[in-house]
Amino acid sequence: MIFIYLLSGLFLGWSLGANDTGNIFGAAVETRMLKFKTAALIASIFIFLGAVLEGGGPSGTLGRLGSVDALGGAFTVALAAALTITVIVRTGIPVSTSQTIVGAIIGWNFFSGRLTDFRNLLTIVASWVIAFVLSGIIAAILFYLIKPIINKGKIHLLEQDVYIRLGLIIIGAFGAFSLGANNIANVVGVFVPVTPFKDINFGSVTLTGVQQLYILGAISIIVGIYTYSHKVMRTVGKDIFHLSPVTALIAVTAEAIVLFIFASRSLQKILLSIGIPPIPLVPVSSTQVIVGAVVGIGLVKGGKNIRYNILGKVSLAWIAAPVIAFFFSFITLFIVQNVFEQTVYQKTVYMFNKTVINKIETQGLDTNHLSTVNGRKFDREIEVYKELKQAECFSRNQILSIIQIAEIYPLKVNTHLLQERGLANHFSRQQWEALVKLEGYEFKHKWQLEEKLSKDFFWQKREEVTERDKLYNKKLDEQMNLLYHTFYLPPSQ
């Protein structure tokens, strides 16, 4: 059943390979600077490397948008996104996997009664817009810098052709690496919280369960490249704006830079080390990025040859894709749950008893305004939110904090499970010793486990004075989430 569940993610990976490879090599193939087989081989190798080596950053952003907590739900969300892409791709119009997976996740949030983190959603959407504009600006600047050099240079046309061809290969490889790093989150990101794979140790090297997901996702992308990507390459490489070999090189360079900026954890660490606020690691749309670059070049050249009717269709698809994915997700979740009787989300209870009220009070919140929920039990997060919102006494962030405290999430500390699943190496020696001391302890709430562990120095969060402190706390949150998923004790047990 595990591999059956993963099929929809692999289907989504196939869709991404069929759709998004044209964003990297479409222009090169359509200008006949590269053969399709050559482009496909380069794309396959470097997308795989990018996915496995750098794919972890953007996945966390999707997880904060909506943490799908059941394999059945992850299967259905990925399926809805893949179906949306397949429907639109058959028209020959490139569409964003980033947008379809976001629409599908929001559909899961609505179906399961969970809240959508609109701040995180705004970050993602804003990044899409910024990526489009930034790509156009970079492409325009590169055009101004490179074009005069080529025009004034005395390089023979055949020699120039060799240089451009080599440039398309190198930049295409970089772009494919960045695409794999940035967009693998769209393929298997929803499976990360419920990954069925154990970490595998090869001496001093560890292949984590999440990396195994990335490998499977990357393979499915490669299959999509070889089976269906040639048709979509025409829209980006030729139909929107007729590119010359030089402008094709410029467009792909701009795209590769933008994708890398929004995907690289290494770049983020460098920026942190010199005190610069980090760029959010967000799965941006490679389709939007390459179209932004093409439009940027077209505008610099006067805008006369831009086919605005094709651009309009592509833009419409960008708006329609998340909406279609939302409805596909909601409908398929209903079918999978009620017809096939599969669990698509974990049922969660929210209880306002004395323990919870006391904890809320320690957060500095006025518990006198909780009279409408005191002593009550709720089955859906959205119901709690609406009830507290009506009181008009708490901000959104305060309500979210209250909901997290009230959530019943049975836990039992079991370090043997961590070892069996190959997860022990995610913790330092001191952190592990603190966990062993709690062996067998049971908790009803996540915050109770966190409180117990925080008595140990190596489980304490830092005051977020610097960006490094924020990064440290983020890692600690990831470790706690790993414990929550591992130690979760279903009520039936």
Domain ranges in the chain are 2-338, 349-408, 411-487
- CA dihedral (290, 294, 299, 304) in degrees, to 10, reads -140
Of residues 262 and 160, the one with the higher pLDDT is 262
Q: What is the mean pLDDT of residues 78-96?
A: 80
Average pLDDT, the chain: 86
pLDDT at 63 over 90: no
CA atoms within 13 A on the CB side of 359: 19
Share of the chain above pLDDT 70, in %: 94
- Checking if the pLDDT of 132 tops 60, the result is yes
Q: What is the DSSP letter of 236?
A: I
User: Residue 222's pLDDT is what?
Assistant: 92
Cα separation, 429 vs 371, whole angstroms: 45
Asked whether the predicted pLDDT for residue 134 surpasses 60, the reply is yes
Q: What is the mean pLDDT of residues 465-486?
A: 86
What's the pLDDT score for residue 282? Answer: 86
> Does residue 52 register a pLDDT over 90?
no
Q: What is the pLDDT of residues 194-237, one digit of tens each?
A: 777 877 877 777 788 888 889 999 999 999 888 877 766 655 55
Q: For 153-210, write each residue's pLDDT tens digit.
A: 667 778 888 888 899 899 999 999 999 988 888 888 888 877 778 778 777 777 888 8
Q: Which residues contact 116 (CB under 8 A, 6 or more apart)?
A: 65, 66, 106, 109, 110
**What is the pLDDT, as a whole number, of residue 232?**
63
Greater confidence (440 vs 464) lies with 440
Residue 477 has pLDDT above 80, yes or no: yes
Looking at the predicted structure, is the pLDDT value of residue 294 above 90?
Answer: no
Highest averaged pLDDT of the listed ranges 146-150, 178-182, 232-236, 409-413: 409-413
Query: Given a cut of 50, is residue 391 above it in pLDDT?
Result: yes
- Kindly state the percentage of the chain with pLDDT values over 90: 41
* pLDDT value for 242: 61
For the segment 388-415, the average pLDDT, to the nearest whole number, is 93
pLDDT value, residue 234: 57
- Tell me the one-letter amino acid at 224: G
Tens digits of residue pLDDT in 95-113: 778 889 999 999 999 999 9
Does an H or E element contain 47, and which? helix 36-54
The pLDDT of residue 434 is: 96
Kindly tell me if the per-residue pLDDT of 493 is higher than 50: no
C-alpha–C-alpha distance, residues 292 and 306, integer Å: 12
pLDDT level of residue 452 (50, 70, 90 thresholds) = very high
Residues 6+ apart with CB under 8 A from 275: 466, 467
Looking at per-residue pLDDT, the higher value among 264 and 333 belongs to 333
Convert 41-77 to b/e letters by CB count within 10 Å (16 or more is b): ebbbebbbbbbbebbbbbbbbbbebbbbbbbbbbbbb
Name which of 174-188, 320-334, 350-364 the model is least confident about. Answer: 174-188
Please state, in angstroms and rounded to a whole number, the distance separating the CA atoms of residues 184 and 126: 20
Q: Which residue has the tokens 């977020």?
A: 464
Asked if pLDDT for residue 241 goes beyond 60, the answer is no
**In the prediction, which pLDDT does 92 show?**
65
Q: What pLDDT band is residue 429 in, cutting at 50, 70 and 90? A: very high
**Cβ neighbours of residue 314 closer than 8 Å, sequence gap 6 or more:** 93, 94, 235, 240, 287, 291
Instruction: Provide the pairing of β-strand 411-412 with 200-202.
Output: unpaired
**pLDDT of 8 over the 60 cut:** yes
Name the DSSP letter for residue 426: G
Q: What is the pTM of this model?
A: 0.86
- pLDDT at position 139 is 94
- Predicted pLDDT of residue 436: 96
